[in-house]
A = this chain, B = another copy of it.
Amino acid sequence: MSLYYPLEDRQLLAVDCVIFGFDNHELKLLLIKRNMEPGKGMWSLLGGFPKHDEGLYQSAERVLKQLTGLQNVYLEQLFAYGDVDRDPGERVVSVAYYSLIKIEDYDKDLVKENNAHWRPVSDIPDLVFDHREMVDKALRRLRRRARIQPIGFELLPEKFTMPQLQSLYEAIYQKELDKRNFCKKILSMDLLDKLKEKDKSSSKKGAFLYRFNPEKYQELVSKGFYFSVDV
């Protein structure tokens, strides 16, 4: 097996997944109640063990699919957690990923099977091991990224209204925004297609639906454009 390298100790490797969703009011996390030791009965992120013939990213994709049924969603590596005592069971290095999903798309049955629940980020229960650290880092990362990259759209349905988008940013940054300035800024980037349809689920008047246009974004980026939202 060790063709080239010295016979160092092999390590137990894991991936853990911080899954964000947005329900039009608050940012939520998909957490599971552990049904195995160590930490049985405690809240936890969903994790798994990368197989020997599986890349880290693929492994995180598999874990995410196992819990949500979703594939091809936003998934980014967060950090590798490698403290010796981070897992009381035994030494495990865990590579954490975070994912942004459209909260209406996930597979309810899978989530139920896995004993998982959506919890608001404003009220996160105690988590096993260093999972709280992972969540906090994921939140900081999301906050840093969302102002400079168009990743917020990953948390919204394909079609969304301007008030929805604003409310997402307000949820991410825990801050009220001025709708005139927000709208002006977003539209000035010319990344959204305004649709003819309206969404009337939250007002009599109805709000126009928009759709993020990734092609436009790519084109602008190639010309040196930087996405930015003021929060």
Contacts and interface: CB of A to CB of B under 8 A. Distances in A.
Interface string A73-96: 000010111111000011111010
B37 A4 contact: yes
A51 interface: yes
Residue of A1, A13, A51 contacting most chain B CB atoms (<10 Å): A13
Contacts of A9: 10, 51-52
Contacts of A91: 52-53
A62 to B, nearest CB: 13
Copies of this chain:
2
A56 B38 contact: no
B49 A8 contact: yes
A51 B9 CA distance: 7
B95 A83 contact: no
A16 to B, nearest CB: 12
A57 interface: yes
DSSP majority for the A interface? loop
Given A3-B89, A5-B90, A37-B4, A82 B10 contact: no
Contacts of A202: none
A9 B49 CA distance: 9
Contacts of A4: 36-38, 89-90
B90 A52 contact: no
Contacts of A221: none
Contacts of A8: 12, 49, 51
A99 B207 CA distance: 50
Given A37-B4, A95-B82, A11 B90 contact: no
Nearest to A92: B5
Residue of A8, A12, A80 contacting most chain B CB atoms (<10 Å): A80
Nearest to A85: B55
Interface string A176-214: 000000000000000000000000000000000000000
A84 B13 CA distance: 14
A190 to B, nearest CB: 25
A6 interface: yes
Contacts of A36: 4
A49 B90 contact: no
